[in-house]
Structure 1
Amino acid sequence: MIKETILLVEDEIIVAKNIQNILINQGYDVPFICDNGEDAIIKARETNPSLVLMDIMLKGKIDGIDTAEYIRFRLNIPVVFLTAYEDELTLNRASLTEPYGYLLKPVSERELHAAIQMAIQTHRFAKKLKEREEWLSILIKSIGDGIASTNSDLIINFVNPAAEKLLKLKATEVVGKKFTEILKIKEDNIYININQLIQEIISNGKSFHFYYNHYLQVDEEITFPVDGKLTPLWNEKGDFNGLLFIFRDITHLKRIEEESFQRSKMESLNLLAGGIAHDFNNMLTILLNNINFIQQSDPSKTDISPYLADMMKACNLSRELTSKLISLSKENTLHMQVCDIHKIIKENVSLIIKDCNIEVQYNFTSPESKIEIDPLQISQVIQNIVINAKEAMASGGSLYISTEYVNISEIFPEKMAENSSNNTYIKISFTDTGKGIEQYNLKKIFDPYFTTKTKGNGLGLTFSQSIIKSHGGYLIVESELGKGSTFTILLPASDNNP
C-alpha cells in the first residue's frame, strides 16, 4: 500500500519533530520538515505531497497564510493549518486560502489523523468532480447541437459554441439575458406564446419537442427551421431550477425532404404527362392534316379562311406544348461545350431587356468565366428567369446580375459527400426590384402548370429546374412580397476556373 506523503511546515523544531513522529507512527511518509514559506513552496513543487500541514504563524518573508495560498491555488495541494491562535482576524484571512481544516496546538493524535484523512479524501473527491466537470464541459463545447440553459428566473446562464454559431451571437451577448427576449419560436408562420409554453412545461414536468414546422427566430435576419427540445430542470428538493434547450438547424434536412418529394412528384407527373402528350399529339396531327387539306382543296372559301388560320395557330401552339411535355418526361440530352457564361448571360439579357424601363447592373467575378454547359439550354433558363423579372417590373425597376465562385458544401452541407470531387460551383444570381412572390406561391413555383400569370402554361420554371439539374446544378428562388425576388443558379465550375 502506498503511503500518503505529508509535507510538514513548522518553524518550532521541537513541535515539528513531535508531529513528524506521530505521523510516521500513523503510517504517513514525512520526508521533509520546512521552517519557512520559501522552502515549503520549493519542496511542495518538487515532491507534490498528498497534503501540506502548515503552521499559520511562520517566520520569514512570507507567513503560513501566504504560503498556503500559493500551494493551494497554484499547485492544487490541500492544506491543513496548525495554529496556537484563535483570533478572528487571522482565521478570516486564513479562510480565504480555502484550507481543508484547522488544528489547534497542542494537537491530539486522534484529531491529527482524522483531519488529515478527511482533507485528503475531500480533496480527491473534489479533484475527481472537477475533472468530470471539465470532461463534461469539453463534451458540451464539442457537441454539434446548440445547448442553452437558464436559471429559475429564465435568465440564460450558459450557451455552448454550437449555440453561438447557430444564433450568430457571442456568449457575452446572450448570457444574462431573458430566454424569452433572445429566442422566439414560430409554428409555421404563427408565433408561439413562449411564456405560456414554459408554464405548461413546468406544470406537467415534461419536455416540449420542436420539429419540422417550428422555426427559431433570433432577429429579423436569422430564422431557421429547428429540431429541438425544451426541458425543465429540477433541484434535489424538486423545485424548478431552470430550462435546458437543445436544438439544431434542420434547413438541410428540410431541403432534402422537399427535393425528394419534388423528385417523386415530378417522376409521377412526367410519366402521366408523357403518356397524355403522346396521345394528344397524335390527335393534333390528324386535326392539323385535315385543316391543311381544307385550306388547299378549296381556296375560294375565303369566309372561313381566318377561322382555319386561327385553328392552325392554336394547333401549332398545342403541338409546341405537347412537345415540351414529351421532352420533360424523357431524360434530357445535353450537348456540352466550354463556354463563357458571362457572354451568354449578357447576350440573353439584352435580348429580353430592351425597349423597357429596366436598368441592368452586372457584377461579375471576372471578365471571362468559362464553364462546361449546353449553351442553348442554359440560354433558355436565363431567358425564362429574365422574362419573369421583366414581367414583375412592368412599371420599371432594376435587375442586378452577379456571379461568384462558391464552395457548394457551404451552401448545402449535405452535398459535400455527394460531390467530393469538385465542390467549386459558379453562383449566378438574378435579383429584381419587382413585386415579389407570396410565400405560399413560392413553395409551388417549380411545379408543372403552376402560374399566377393570365398568359403562360406554367412550365417555364419547371423546364428551367430540369435543365439545371441535368447539368448537376441547383436552381433556387428567394422572394419576399413587396421586396423583389432573387433567382440563383449554381453550376459546377470547370477545372480551369477557381
Structure 2
Amino acid sequence: MSEIQETVLESFQTFQSTQLVKDKYENILEHLDSGIILFDSHGILTFVNVQMAKLLEIPRASLIGCTLTGILRHPQLSRLNKRKLLRIYRETIFHRKKHHEFCDDRGGHWLLTVTYGDQMNGDFLLSAKDVSDYKQIEQTAYQNDKLAMLGKISASIAHEIRNPLTAIRGFIQLLRPHLLQIGKDEYAKIIMMEIDRGNDIISEFLNSSKPTSPQTSVIDVSSLLKDVVLLTESEALMNGCQITMQDRELPLYISVDAKQIKQVILNIIKNAMDAIADLGHNHPGMIQIHTEQDHKNVQIHISDNGKGMDNNTLSRLFDPFFTTKESGTGLGLSVSYRIIKNHGGYIYVDSVLGKGTDFMITLPHN
C-alpha cells in the first residue's frame, strides 16, 4: 500500500511541478508586448494573451473556446478588425504564407507570424509583433538617401546653369559700351537684371533642396504659431477656410530657427488649404492648430477636414519631386522633413481619404 501511495504522491508532485511550469510560461506569454493566439488542431482557440486581445478589442474571456468563424461573428468585433482578420486569413492560412504585415488604426506597423505543422502537433500559433520603430528607422534611412541624392542633383544642375549665365553676363558687360553708343543701353540693363534674377532663383532652389544649418534661438512655440496664422488667415478666409488655434496658458519654449520652422508650418497650412479647396467652395474648411508637451518633446498638431490621402500618397509624401498638384514642385514637404530632422525632430502624418489629414511635428523641448 505504501508503494502505491508513494507512486501516487510522486505522480501528484510531478503534475504540480508541470502545472507550475505551465502557469509560469503562460504568465510570461500573457504579458509579452507581442500578441499571441493559439488554435488547437480542431480550430478551437485555446489561448490568447493580453496584447492580442487589445488588438482585437475583445475581452480575453469571451475569446477562449471560439473558432475563427466564431471570432468573425463576435458581437464586439469591429468592422475594421473583421476586414483585417479576413485579410490575415487569406494571406496566411489560405495562401500558406508564414508572414504578413498590417497597420492598426493608430498607424502602427505589425508583423504577423504563423507557426504550424509537425512542431506544433497540429496546432496553429499566431504572433503579432509591433515593428513600428523598425519601420520608422527604415523610412528615415530611405528618406535620407533620397534627400542626399536630391542635394547632389540640385548642386550639379545649378552649377551647369550658372556657368553659361556667368559667361552671358560677362559678354553683355563687354557689349554695353557699344549698346550705349547706339542708344540701346536699356537692353543691357534688362538682360543683366534677368540674369541676376535667374541666379537668385537658382540660389533659392539650392536652399530649398538642401536647407542650411539652423540658426537657433529660444522662442515660445505659441508666438511662432500666431505669426504664421496671421500670415495665412486672410488667404484662408478668401478660400473659405477657418484657421483656429488653441492657445496655452503656460508657454512652451523651443530652441529652433524660427524662419525655417515658420516655412514648414506655412507649407503644411497651404497644403491643407489646397486639400480643402479641392472639395469645392460649398465645403466649410477647417484648419485646427494646437500644441502639447510630451515628456521631452513639444508636439505641434495641424489638422484639416480636406480631401485626405490614400495609403499610396502617404507612403510617398516626403519624396522629393512627388506632388499631386498640377503646378506643384514636389519639394515643399521633402524640405520640411529635412528642416525638422535638422532640429532633432520628426513629422508624423495620419490621413483618411475623404475625411482629412493630421500632421504632428515633434521638436525637443528647451
TM range (shorter): 0.7 to 0.9
Note the residue ranges of structure 1 that are not aligned, 5 or more in a row: 1-111, 202-207, 408-423
Structure 2 vs 1, CA of residues 470 and 442 (structure 1 numbering), >3 Å: closer, same or farther? same
Deviations 1:202-242 (A, max 9, x none): xxxxxx4214xx2166xxx3674332322336799x6x4x4
Cα distance per residue 1:120-159 (max 9 Å; x no partner): 1221221221122122223322433221112445343321
The alignment partner of 1:447 has SS state of coil
Match of 1:171 among 60, 67, 79: 60
Report whether the alignment pairs 1:215 with 2:102: yes
1:490 aligns with one of 355, 362, 365? 362
Per mean C-alpha deviation after superposition, the further-off stretch among 454-463 and 222-231 is: 222-231
**What is the CA–CA distance in structure 1 between the aligned matches of 2:309 and 2:173, rounded to whole Å?**
43
Report the equivalent of 1:262. Answer: 143
**1:228 maps to 2:123:** no
- Does structure 2 retain, via aligned residues, the 8 Å contact 1:426–1:493? yes
Aligned amino acid, residue 135 of structure 1: K
DSSP-derived class of the 1:457 partner: coil
On the 8 A contact 1:227/1:250 being kept in 2, the answer is yes
In 2, are the aligned partners of 1:270 and 1:328 still within 8 Å (CA)? no
Change (3 A) 1:223 1:486: closer
- SS in structure 1 of the partner of residue 112 of structure 2: strand
**Aligned counterparts of 1:284 and 1:486: Cα–Cα separation in 2:** 43
User: Residue 244 of structure 2 contacts residue 288 of structure 2 at CA under 8 Å; is this kept in 1?
Assistant: yes
Query: How far apart, in 1, do the equivalents of 2:119 and 2:162 lie?
Result: 74
Distance in 1 of aligned mates of 2:107 and 2:271: 27
- 1:401-460 deviation line (CA, Å, top 9, x unaligned): 0110114xxxxxxxxxxxxxxxx1111011111112232222222222222222232222
Superposition deviation, residue 260 in structure 1: 0.9
Q: How far, CA to CA, are the matches of 1:179 and 1:359 in structure 2?
A: 48
1:358 corresponds to: 241
- Residue of structure 1 in register with 2:305 after alignment: 433
Alignment correspondent of 1:403: 291
Contact 1:429/1:488, CA 8 A, preserved across alignment = yes
Q: What residue is the counterpart of 1:332 in the other structure?
A: 212
Q: How far did 1:474 drift? A: 0.8
Gaps spanning 5+ residues in structure 2: where? none
Partners of 2:350 and 2:114 in 1: how far apart? 31
- 1:457 matched to 2:329? The reply is yes
CA distance in 2, matches of 1:289, 1:438: 51
User: 2 CA distance for matches of 1:288 and 1:402?
Assistant: 50
User: What's the counterpart of residue 6 of structure 1?
Assistant: none
Identity across matched positions, percent: 27
Asked if 2 retains the 8 angstrom alpha-carbon contact of 1:166 and 1:249, the reply is no
**Counterpart code for 1:124:** Q
Whole-angstrom distance in 1 between the partners of 2:50 and 2:88: 27
Paired with 2:166 and 2:259, the residues of 1 have a C-alpha distance of 27
Corresponding position: 1:371 with 2:259: no
Partner of residue 192 from structure 1, selected from 87, 94, 97? 87
CA contact (8 A) 1:185 1:194 kept: no
Q: TM-score if structure 1 supplies the norm length?
A: 0.61
Q: Which letter maps to 2:269?
A: V
Note if contact 1:364-1:404 (Cα within 8 Å) is conserved in structure 2.
no
- Counterpart in the other structure of 1:144: 33
Aligned partners of 1:326 and 1:210: how far apart in 2?
Answer: 43
CA distance in 1, matches of 2:287, 2:319: 25
1:124 aligns with 2:13: yes
2:14 equivalent to 1:133: no
Distance 1:200 1:272, change over 3 A: closer
Secondary structure of the 2:98 match is strand
The number of residues matched between the two structures is: 347
TM-score calculated relative to the size of structure 2: 0.80
Higher relative CO (Cα under 8 Å, sequence separation at least 6) belongs to 2
C-alpha distance 488-311 of structure 1, shift in aligned 2 (>3 A): farther
| DSSP-derived class of the 2:47 partner | strand
Q: Find the aligned partners of 2:332 and 2:169 in 1 and give their Cα distance.
A: 25
Deviation at 1:345, TM superposition (A): 0.8
Counterpart in 2 of 1:250? 131
Deviation at 1:195, TM superposition (A): 6.1
Cα offset, 1:352, TM superposition: 1.7
Amino acid at match of 2:17: K
Partners of 1:473 and 1:165 lie apart in 2 by 30
